[in-house]
Structure 1
Amino acid sequence: MIVNHDVDGPVDGPVVVLLHSSVCDRRMWESQWRPLIDAGFRVVRPDFRTCGDSPAGTAPYSDDGDVRDLLDHLGVRQASLVGSSYGGRIALQVAALHPERVSSLLLLCPGRPGHEPSAELRSFGAEEDVLLDAGDLTGAAELNARTWLGPDADADAHALVRAMQQRNFEIALAVTESHELPGSPVDLATVTAPTLAVGGAHDHPDFRRIAAELPTMVPGAEHVELPWAGHLPSLERPEETTRLMLEFLTRT
């Protein structure tokens, strides 16, 4: 199955794939979509399975495998990957397993393959589970918006995250059998793409630490921390994040 996706921009333009957070879906990139296309990039934004408009899997799959299959489906030999949170984790998986397919990596408050969550992060998960077990999807979606959006996020950003997260919960909770494969072990030292890991000063400590530590794991990777950002900078200060993305993608 090819996951649901949008693609637009010059047919011969360099390809950029936008990989969303698990809290969100492809709509989180709305503010970056048109500026990237106008800058000459061919832009692809998929929905991971059980997110947005992509259904659950009915056969064994992995999200990094879905990204690779989407590139093959579109006839794309190599692309830049921009990943937010879980999307950053998947971008790292693809870049480590298939380095020849990735021309550059921009990771916004990324997850990392193999990261062991702290007690604080597990506590958040337990609080979310209590709400989901009680059938309070609205409350669980609100918890996620409140936790993951930084202080500069406006009311529209909060409403969008709540809507995206609640839809993801609804799809996932309707699944009676999971076909997702366990993540493949990866060696991040095999990544060859120029890499920028972006952290947020207001983000959860686990994700701040992941971004800061990636230059010790990915050859040549750079790290920058945004003093204003929470966990989802593309929704918190869209224009500023777009400028950062364009600068990095143009440079690399």
Structure 2
Amino acid sequence: MTLAHEIAGDGPAVVLLHSSVCDRRMWDPQWRLLTDAGFRVMRPDFRGYGETPAPASAYDEARDILRLLDHYGIERAALIGSSFGGRVAQEFAARWPSRVTRLLLVCPASRLVEPTDDLRAFGAEEDALLEAGDIGGAVALNVRTWLGPAAGESTRELVSRMQRHAFEVQLAAPDVAAVRDDFDLREISALTLVLSGAHDLDGMQGVAVFLAEHIDGAVHERLDWAGHLPSVEDPARFNPVLVDFLDDLRDP
């Protein structure tokens, strides 16, 4: 399967990997910024999100990204992953470290960290709403949980639309298991920055700390204004962090 995606610009490659609350549209505030700044930027929709259909057979999100890079002949790229996209990015960087120039994990999830009570409570409430057929309630729960106080009404509406679409696509599809290969964070060689939001769930903030401690040389920065999705909550404050992290990849 080919993931729905966009690619534009010239220069060092940057891949934007979206949260499971969103799809590739979450990167609208960064798309033109990065292409204008001299990067070749790609943003895919994972399977079951945005314009990519739900999977029909076993799949591997990180390998999907590898195939997309190979399709365009991109040997090395910076990976920018938000939440679930951060989980995929860390797995990719550990499995194919030579392919990654920079790794920015924005409020990332991780399979290597056990969920805390607040994350379990969220999951249980979401499951109950979806089992009851209350998609609207599940959407509202996600928006309420994952967007911090800096997010405006238009952002909340966009995230609601993206999350509702993902629920509708995934609930209509057969239950297909993903392939979960083992990986070792110690294999990551790219310069790594891990961001967390002060208004995010404690469990997610703990994941950021864990990753920063277990990826060699990684730096952890806590954004005091942010919730779980800082790139959409306040692009004016997030974008300088992003550009500064990528800046020295460009030719002088």
Once residues 2 and 237 of structure 2 are traced to their aligned partners in structure 1, the CA distance between those partners, rounded to angstroms, is: 32
Shift in Å at residue 179 of structure 1? 4.3
Amino acid at match of 2:181: S
Amino acid paired to 1:151:
P
Retained in 2: the 8 A contact 1:114–1:185?
no
Aligned to 1:170: 168
In the alignment, is residue 228 of structure 1 matched against residue 238 of structure 2?
Answer: no
Instruction: State whether structure 2 residue 95 is matched by structure 1 residue 100.
Output: no
For residues 158 and 18 of structure 1, what CA distance do their matches in structure 2 show? 20
1:99-138 alignment runs, 5 A limit: 99-138=97-136
* 3-state SS of 1:35 partner: helix
- What CA distance in whole angstroms lies between the structure 2 residues aligned with 1:120 and 1:179? 25
Question: 2:56·2:174 contact (CA, 8 Å) conserved in 1?
Answer: no
- The separation in 1 between residues aligned to 2:44 and 2:229, in whole angstroms, is 17
1:59, distance to aligned residue in structure 2 (A): 2.7
Question: Matches of 2:210 and 2:112 in 1, distance apart?
Answer: 13
Tell me which residue corresponds to 1:18: 16
SS at structure 2 position matched to 1:6: strand
SS at match of 1:44: strand
Is this contact kept in 2: 1:58–1:179, CA < 8 A? no
Q: Is 1:211 aligned with 2:208?
A: yes
Q: Is 2:239 aligned against 1:251?
A: no
Report the residue type matching 1:45 in the other structure. R
Whole-Å separation in 1 of the counterparts to 2:66 and 2:111: 17
Query: Quick one: distance in 2 between partners of 1:53 and 1:180?
Result: 19
Q: Is the 8 A contact 1:111 1:207 kept in 2?
A: yes
Shift, 1:195, TM fit? 0.1
Match of 1:75 among 73, 76, 79: 73
Distance 2:23 2:224 in 1: 25
Residues in 2 aligned to 1:124 and 1:215: alpha-carbon distance in whole angstroms: 24
2:192 maps to which residue? Answer: 195
**Structure 1 unmatched ranges of 5 or more:** none
Q: 1:112 to 1:179 in 2, by over 3 A?
A: closer
Which range moves more in the overlay, 52-61 or 36-45? 52-61
In structure 1, the partner of 2:8 is 8
Contact 1:105 1:195 in 2 (8 A): yes
Residues 33-88 of structure 1 show CA distances to partners (whole Å, capped at 9, x for unaligned) of 00000000000000000001000122321111111111111110010000000000
Q: Which residue matches 2:30?
A: 32
TM-score normalised according to structure 1 size: 0.96
Q: 1:140: Cα distance to partner?
A: 0.5
Superposition CA RMSD, Å: 1.0
Alpha-carbon displacement from aligned partner over 1:208-232 (angstroms, at most 9, x marks no partner): 1111222220001001000000000
User: Which consecutive segments of 4 or more residues in structure 1 shift more than 6 A?
Assistant: none
Query: In structure 2, which of residues 43, 62, 65 is the aligned counterpart of residue 64 of structure 1?
Result: 62
**Percentage of pairs with the same residue:** 49
User: SS of the residue aligned with 1:212?
Assistant: helix
**Unaligned residue ranges in structure 2 (runs of 5+):** none
Distance in 2 (alpha carbons) for counterparts of 1:38 and 1:233:
21
Distance 1:185 1:206 in 2: 22
Aligned to 2:235: 238
Kindly provide the amino acid, as one letter, of the partner of residue 198 in structure 1. Answer: L
SS of equivalent to 2:94: helix
Mapped to 1, the partners of 2:56 and 2:109 lie a distance apart of 26
